[in-house]
Every structure is written in C-alpha cells, then in structure tokens.
Structure 1
Amino acid sequence: LYSRDDFESRSGYTDPEIMRTALASVILQTKRLGLGDLASFPLLDAPTEAQLNAGTNTLQELGALTTGGKLSAVGKQLAGMPLDPQLGRMLLAAQSAACIESVLVIVSALAVQDPREVPPDQRQLAREMHRRFALGNSDFLDWLQLWDYYASLRATHSQGKLRKRLQAEFLSASRMREWRDMHRQLRLSLRSIGIKVAVREQHYDPEKKAGIENKREYESIHRALLKGIPLQIGTLEKPVDNQSRPGGTARSKKNRAGDYIGPRGLRFALWPGSGLANKKPRWVLAAEIVETSRVYARHVARIEPAWIAAELSHLTRFEYGEPRWQARRGRVVATRRTLLFGLTLGEQKNFPFDQVDAARARQIFIQTALVEQQLDPDARLQAKAKFWQHNLEVLADASEVENRLRRRDLQISDQALFAFYDARLPQQVFDRVSLSRWLQKTGAEAQQALLLGRDEAFARQLPLDALQQFPSHLDSAGKHYALRYAFAPGASDDGVTVRIPLTEVAHMPLPALEWLVPGMLVDKVEELIKILPKAQRKKLLPLADTAASLSQLVVRDFGLGSCSLYDALLAKASAQYGVNFDVASWRGLARDRLPDFYLMRAEVIDANGKVIDSDRALPVLQQRCMRVMDTQVQQATRDRAPALISRWDFGALQSSGNVAGDAAGAQRCLRENTEGELALEFCASAAEARMHTRLALPRLAMHALPDKVRYLRKQLLRDARQLLPYVGVGDRAGLLDDLIKAAIAHAC
C-alpha cells in the first residue's frame, strides 16, 4: 500500500532505457557507424548533457578515443566486441599480457549476476562455504578458484547431483550456468575479431592456501583489469590523530578510519564481505563502487601504485615542486608527484629537472653551482675546469678586500657574475656531467673566456692606496704578526684579528695593538672622541675634522704603534685643544662603549697554528695564557723528573720549540733548588730562564772547583764574632755558600 500523494508524484511511464543506462557503448557504436555526434542525433528522447559527457569521458579513460574525438585503434577493436567497453578493454589488455584465459573467466563473471548466494538466515554458514575459494589478496582470483571448482564438479557429477551439490554450498546452479554460457559467447565473439582464447583448464586444488599465487601472473591479470576500470582505485587514508586536528575535533562520520581515497575526491570503504576487508591493503582496485548506507567497493584486489602509473600514463599528470641544486648528485632536481585526477600515486624526491625544463635548470645551475660556489667538483672535473679554481681565488681576493675595507659594494654582484657565465656557457650545460662533457670537447679559447679577470671581480675601481692602509702583517719590535680581517657585524671575529704565537705572548705589543691599522685609525679616533664626556667633547668640534687632525699629529710625532694610542692622543689633544682627561678612564670607556671591531682581537696559537685562546681584552688574554704556560711548564718539569747536574755537559740551553715533548713555549734553564742541587728545568719565559740560570752558574762553578771551595770553607769565618750579625738568619754553612757564590759571581 502507498499513499495517494506518493502515487500521484510518480511518473506516468517508465523512463526510456537511454535515459537510465551508461552511454559509452552507444557513443562507441555511433562513431563506428559514422552517425555523427550523438547529441545531435534525432532521438525521440535525447539524453542529458551529463550522460553524454560521462560516456565520452569513459571512452577517453579507456583510450578508445583520440584527442580529436575519433576512434583510436583500441576503440575500433572495442566497437567490434558485443560487450561493455570496460570489460572489452580488460580482454584486449589481457591478450597483450598473455593472460586472456584467466581474465576472460573474470570478465564473464563480472558480466553476470554473482552466483554466490547469502540467505539472511544462514549468512554465517554461507560465507564460511564461500571462504574456501578466497586466496586473500584478490577477490578477482576467487572467481578463478570457483570456476575451477565448478569445472571439477561438472566432470564428476550428473546434472541432478550437481544442482543439489551447488545448492548445499550456497551456489546458484542457474547463475553458474549463465556464467559458463557468457564465457562461451565471449570466446566466440573474440574469435570473430581474430582473437582465439583457449578454455581455462586448471585443476582445482582445495589445499591451495591464501596468499600463495604466481607474482608475475598476479600482476599481469590485475594490470589488465586496471585498464578497464581505471578510476575505481583507492589508497588507504593515513590515520590522523585527533590531537593534531585543529581544535582537537574528532573525525567526521564521512571521514571514518579505514576509508580509502580515490580519484576525483572519491571516498569509499571495503565491502565487509570482501576477503580484504580486515587486511586493509595500501592500494586497491575495485570491480564496482556501490552506495548503500555508505559508499562501498565490491570485489577488490591489492595492487601497486607503480602499475597504475604505468598502465594509465595517458590519464596521469605530473606536479613538480620547487627545483633546487643538489651538490651530491651534481644536477638540478625537484620533487615530482604523479597524480591521477587529484589522487597522488607516488612521489619522486630527486627527479632530474632538466628533463622538464632544461632552460630553467641551466639558470639554477649557473646561479647556485657557479655564482654561489656550490659546484663541488670531483677530481676529474677539477682537472678539466681550470677556470673554476682561478675564479674562486679571484673572488676570494675580492672578498678579502671587502673585509679589509669593511664594505660590501666592491665585489662583482651576483647578477653580473650570472651574466658572465650565462654569456659564455652553451645552452646544453645545465649540470656537472654536461659541464664536464663540454669542457672535454671545447678548446682552450672557450675555457679562457671563462677566466674572471682581477678587474672584473670588482664592481668599481679601488683607490690606489686603499690596500696599503690595511696591511696583512703587523711589525713591532722586529716581530711580524699576521693579521686577519672579517666584516661580520655581530660575529665574535668581526674586525681585525692579530695572530700571536704562544711563545711570544709575554712580549705581546699591547701599545701597538691599540692603534689597529692605518686605514682604521681616523675612524677609531673619531669614535674615541665621541665617548668622551660632553665637557671635553665640546672642545673637539667638529669631530670628523678633529679626528683627522689628531691622527696626523700622533702618527707624525709619535710614530704608528710606538706608544699607547690613548697617551699620544691625550698629549696632542691637551696641547692643541686644552682637553684633560684620565687615560685609564678613557681606556675603560673604550672597552665598554666602542663597537667591537674598533678593538684589536688577538688569537694565541700553538706551534701547529691551532688557536688556543682569543679575546679583545688583551692584558687579560696575556695573563690567561701566561698562567696556561706556567701550568704546562710545571707539568713538563714533573713529568721529566730532572737529573742532577754537576758539570756543563748538556750542550747549549735552547727553547722547548726544538725539544720534543716539552711544554709549548717553555724555555730551558739551569736551576738550583733549596738543597743546593742543580737540574735542568723549564720556565715560562726567556727572562725567567735567564734569571735562574744566572743564579745557578756560581753553584756549577763550585762543583768544578772542589779544592778551592773546600779551602775557603775552612779559612772563612774562623772568628765566631763574625757570625753574630747572622744569628737567627741562617747557619754558618749557608753563609759560607753565599759568600763563595758571591765571590765567583763578582770574579766572572
């Protein structure tokens, strides 16, 4: 029964079949017969535009139409088959893959109603009986098992017994017969178009276990099926933790866990009756997508995304990420995603971008590898690319000039350097391999053009005396100290750094280091004036002119680095401008308020050039390093357990720099201990070593003159009254030793 409103709302007649079915087959036949466009064909009931577009899209997905809308070679074959184009496309693909016997069984099963029956009151028992044919990875292969089983029953049972056996096992005898008839009809129709297919004769093996199948055959069968149903695929959605969702919201009912994502935004779940429902493979192919309470995929199989990309290359497109230079591979690469109507099939992280856009790959190669110096050539390319090392040296020299002058507008710009390489390299050079190949073929003239000239490395001409004001060495008291420049505001080594050997720390030229270098003197003097108290600073206006004048005066009258810069400046400022200020206070203000690069930075290095310590507070650094040397000397002395000396048989005293195993910077000396014994030991400085040696030499002379010493011990201080002034200071033996050593020292 139904209501009047329901009855009156129904259509008076059944919708025409052309309005209810897929039109792919109809469009295929109209094109084969040359009837023109179906949309303009004078039908009694014209299909909708959506139906026509869906049918045309299906044929394009199957490869049955060319880009111009005409039948392709595949389309002509499909038009001659009395079968749905999708099923026909599976058979054509199976013929090429040499698996048409198996695929024909599957296609004929898909063309009829499923013979497996599941009564509602015996659902569990029926599924247990049907599970005998499940192989686990593919519902399609279950059809092959069932076909082989049916063939074995037909060979051993009469019609009556066969019907009863099938009924007991929840299989429809009429549908099984219909399946077999469909298989025979398809074989005959294929024979009519020149495709001969043998009947599948495979012995049914009830002991065949799930998951055991021929991998090559499995791939061939499913790649053939994929050709006919290209968009009925999906990938398992990655699980997303609710905590990571915005606001911690839970997953919606439409996006349930275990859902699959397909092309064109399709979402579905696996049909519960499938053998793969609990396995949840990563990628699946489905024979049909149905919608009940949810969207389900029926008759599914596990597939690989590589099969999809290979078989559906006419439907896929590529999406590329931002190209980048990869030094390890020596070429420009990009991340490439393979997409099938919005579904990502795979991602290749380092795809050669020159295969996509060689011109842009060349630009990135020149900019990143050559201009930004990330070429990283191997030994073979290094030997061929003579220009590379030459240009690096030229640009390094230009960068050093910028560091010295504290400017960043002198070196050639990246744009100009790019234009330099772009004009000289051919279009086919876009990576390390192509560069090496071109260098091997080209002549010396082409390579000569790639050499960057010294003048070309600068964007503008330098002042003639600019570099003379920024020397590479500092000379003081006959010593040469290497200087290093850095223009890196905020960095610890910004400014000028002097490298001082550990052995020279005691003689560090502290006054000379206050002057920095000639090219920075005027600027430093101006900054020193700026930090003076206002009362003193007012007398020195204008600051720039006063700084230049004072700099000339102190250099002329005192000499660069001959004394403390603060003493020299204060002397001239007092004489010329009447400025009086405490030198120690001025030095303290400079330490606290001057930018770091106006204070000389010192690095103390060992004999191997390794930095031991560094600081801008030079007196503090000197004391710290002296303590380190003292500790090393004491350790070296303890480790050596010095032997006692009674005669000069150890050669000349020399610094530890020539004695292996000694403390760095230590000086060897002759030293007398409290017991009057002599030994070779080490001192932190040459001055200390000379002092101890000078004090120990009289004792060594006493060892060389034992008779004279013995005589003096007996003859001196025979009168006890001579000892009275020394009572409480020492004994007679100690006083005698001092007198004898003093006499020897006086005589020498």
Structure 2
Amino acid sequence: AAVMAYERVTLYGVPIVAQRKVNYGRIDPETSRDLFIRNALVEGDWRTHHQFFHDNRKLLGEVEELEHRARRRDILVDDETLFDFYDQRIPAEVVSGAHFDSWWKKKRHEEPELLNFEHSMLINESAEAVTKDDYPDSWRQGKLKFKVTYQFEPGADADGVTVHIPLQVLNQVSSEGFDWQIPGLREQLVTELIRSLPKPIRRNYVPAPNFAARFLDSTVPLQGSLTASLAAGLQRMVGVPVEAADFDTGRIPDHLKITFRVVDERRRKLAEAKDLEALRLQLKPKTRAAISKAFEEAAGRPARGGKGGRAGADDGQPPAGPEQRTGLTSWTIGTLPRTFETLP
C-alpha cells in the first residue's frame, strides 16, 4: 500500500545499482499521495480492513449495477469527483497505507463517518431521476414471485431483462403483464411501439417520445394488454383510429422484450426464450415430472412412479401417493384435490 520506485545508482556513468526498490513517498510525497488516493481509495486497489472502504466499494457497486440495469454509462460520477472527496479530507502527510492507518486510527474516533460516501453524491445530476425502484429485483404475479436479473450486452440472447421461472410453477405462470415491461424500460418500449405503426397512422403521433410520456402519465400499467391500452390511449389523444394489430412488435428491439429463463430446483438454467408459450410447450414433459415430484415431497411420501395401481381398484379412498393409472372405464379412485399449488 505504498508507491514504490526503482533506483539506479551510477559512478562516473558506470551502473553500481541497476534496479533497487525504494519508497517513493520520501522522494516525492505529493505525487505519492496523489497515486495512493487514486489507486488505493478511488480505484479500490487496496487490501484493508477499514470498514468505510468496504462500505464505499459496496455503494459504488450498487450504482454501477443501476447503470447496468438502466443501460446507461452516465449515472455514476467520474473518478475526479471521488478523488476530490478524499483529497479534501485526507491530510497532506498521508502518502501510503501505513501513513493512512496511523492517521485514521485516531481520526475515526473523532469523525467516524468522515470518509463514508452517500448514495446521492455518487449520482450525476442528469441521472437523479433514475432509481432502483424502476429496475426491481423481482416480479410478482399473484402469489408467485420471480427473480429478475439484468444484462447490458447488446447482441446477446438475454440482453435486457430476464425473469427466472422455476420449472415446477411454469404451468401456473401467465403471460399477462409481462408485455408492459419493468417501469424503467416502459417508456422506451411504448416509444418504439408508436414508431412501429404504419406511416399513415404514425405521422399523427410524432414525436413518439412525447406521446409515449403522455400515455403513461394517463394510464394504469398492467391493466390489460399494453398494445390494446396504447391503441385506445393514442386514439383518445388525437382521434385517429389505432388498433392493437397496427403495432409491429417484430420491430421492437430485443432488449425491450423480456427473456424468460426456466430453472430447476438448483436454479440451473433449463431453457430460455422471449416467448413464454413456446417455452411452456418445449418443457411440458419436464414440467409434468417436476409437478409430480413436488406433489410427492409435499405429501411426504416416496414416489410410486410409472404406471401403478390396479385399474379396477375401488376402496373408496384416494390413492396413497401420486401415480398414473391406465385402463379405467369408470371413476374408481376416490376424491382428488381440485388444485395443487407450489410457490417458487
């Protein structure tokens, strides 16, 4: 945690020492202090136990993650802002980690929060409206709650928002609501939908971003289909007829379409796609097996599996465990529960 330099010693031009390591803080303390602040504190290239350092790195990580979610590179303040923060608080004699430790050992008792970042100071003024609430960690649908992750990698299959759906509840998930996107990307999505209209209709709704903002200000999200709501909303504004079918969803950028990732009980990816119904069909056999397994575990009974039971069994009681029966010609298996639910 110190700035080092290589010293070269010569005598009448003849090298005596070619490359000796020395502490540069004694030679140029001003430059050493500058490098210590930039490399150790601003860039985080320092192994230290100081709590403020780890808290600050965590806060920086949260803002960087917000940039990733918002698909922007202008939310986090630049390094010069962070440098100025430390430069104003750390005395001139601190030129290395050892000097810092000695100074901070006393100073932290006087002003324990002197070097702590605040979230507001890390956000550029132009991005103050961007909040984590606009980019949630989860998506709720009724009793179900799904993990949401973000990827800022144009061209990648999962670029944008990804909703993680456990296999055992795949059959319970409806596509309803997902077409509205998360709040942070909703205005972009609506803007692109307006731009996808046929030209004779689209020319009545320009500039598209303005109409998108007006629509979202006057509508309740997640109420019905987005395209149907948008068509009705645009028509109310101008009077030019618009129908849901007029929007060309094929022209919407992929990062504005939600990716659905189906995972097993260990959260490992089984399959992913932009089309939820296609995923449901693709994984139907695995979904059926997962539901059967979940039923067995919920009932606390070992699986019988396969083709079990007697086709003509009629003891007036429901089966002891989940099973398949074939050859039935009448209802002889007792009372079955109307539904079986499991939450992720």
TM-score (norm: length of structure 2):
0.72
Matched residue type, 2:222 = G
Partner of 2:248: 586
Residue 256 of structure 2, aligned match among 551, 574, 598: 598
Which runs of structure 2 are paired with 1:115-134 in the superposition (5 Å)? none
Alignment partners' CA distance in 2, 1:604 and 1:347: 61
Gap regions ≥5 residues in structure 2: 318-325, 337-344
Q: CA RMSD of the aligned region, Å? A: 4.3
Alignment partners' CA distance in 1, 2:275 and 2:13: 64
Alignment partners' CA distance in 2, 1:613 and 1:416: 43
After superposition, the C-alpha distances for 1:278-317 in whole angstroms (9 at most, x for unaligned) are: xxxxxxxxxxxxxxxxxxxxxxxxxxxxxxxxxxxxxxxx
Matched residue type, 1:546 = F
Give % identity: 24
Tell me if the contact between 1:485 and 1:496 (Cα under 8 Å) persists in the aligned partners: yes
Are positions 1:503 and 2:168 aligned together? yes
Alignment partners' CA distance in 2, 1:510 and 1:347: 70
Partner of 2:125: 460
Tell me if the contact between 1:332 and 1:431 (Cα under 8 Å) persists in the aligned partners: yes
Which runs of structure 2 are paired with 1:604-623 in the superposition (5 Å)? 604-611=262-269, 613-623=271-281
Matched residue type, 1:565 = L
Tell me if the contact between 1:515 and 1:521 (Cα under 8 Å) persists in the aligned partners: yes
Tell me if the contact between 1:500 and 1:602 (Cα under 8 Å) persists in the aligned partners: yes
Partner of 1:471: 136
Are positions 1:701 and 2:314 aligned together? yes
Alignment partners' CA distance in 2, 1:597 and 1:470: 14
Call closer, same or farther: CA 1:354–1:520 in 2, change over 3 Å.
Answer: same
Partner of 1:569: 230
After superposition, the C-alpha distances for 1:316-372 in whole angstroms (9 at most, x for unaligned) are: xxxxxxxxxxxxxx3333455556677766654965433442321221121122111
Q: Which has the higher helix share?
A: 1
Are positions 1:364 and 2:35 aligned together? yes
The Cα of 1:388 is off from its aligned counterpart by 1.3
SS at match of 1:427: coil
The Cα of 1:445 is off from its aligned counterpart by 1.9
After superposition, the C-alpha distances for 1:61-88 in whole angstroms (9 at most, x for unaligned) are: xxxxxxxxxxxxxxxxxxxxxxxxxxxx
Which runs of structure 2 are paired with 1:658-737 in the superposition (5 Å)? 673=307, 677-678=308-309, 699-701=312-314
SS at match of 2:88: helix
Tell me if the contact between 1:473 and 1:481 (Cα under 8 Å) persists in the aligned partners: yes
Call closer, same or farther: CA 1:571–1:699 in 2, change over 3 Å.
Answer: farther
Which runs of structure 2 are paired with 1:282-293 in the superposition (5 Å)? none
User: Which of 1 and 2 has higher RCO (CA within 8 Å, sep 6+)?
Assistant: 2
Matched residue type, 1:533 = P
Alignment partners' CA distance in 2, 1:346 and 1:465: 57
Call closer, same or farther: CA 1:441–1:573 in 2, change over 3 Å.
Answer: closer
Call closer, same or farther: CA 1:581–1:568 in 2, change over 3 Å.
Answer: closer
Call closer, same or farther: CA 1:475–1:360 in 2, change over 3 Å.
Answer: same
Gap regions ≥5 residues in structure 1: 1-329, 638-651, 660-667, 679-695, 705-733
Matched residue type, 1:460 = E
Alignment partners' CA distance in 2, 1:549 and 1:669: 56
TM-score (norm: length of structure 1):
0.37
After superposition, the C-alpha distances for 1:101-140 in whole angstroms (9 at most, x for unaligned) are: xxxxxxxxxxxxxxxxxxxxxxxxxxxxxxxxxxxxxxxx
Call closer, same or farther: CA 1:499–1:369 in 2, change over 3 Å.
Answer: farther
Which runs of structure 2 are paired with 1:367-406 in the superposition (5 Å)? 367-377=38-48, 382=49, 385-406=50-71
Matched residue type, 2:240 = Y
Alignment partners' CA distance in 1, 2:20 and 2:168: 55
The Cα of 1:600 is off from its aligned counterpart by 1.9
Call closer, same or farther: CA 1:670–1:653 in 2, change over 3 Å.
Answer: farther
Call closer, same or farther: CA 1:363–1:747 in 2, change over 3 Å.
Answer: closer
The Cα of 1:420 is off from its aligned counterpart by 1.2
In our comparison, the structure showing a higher alpha carbon Rg is 1
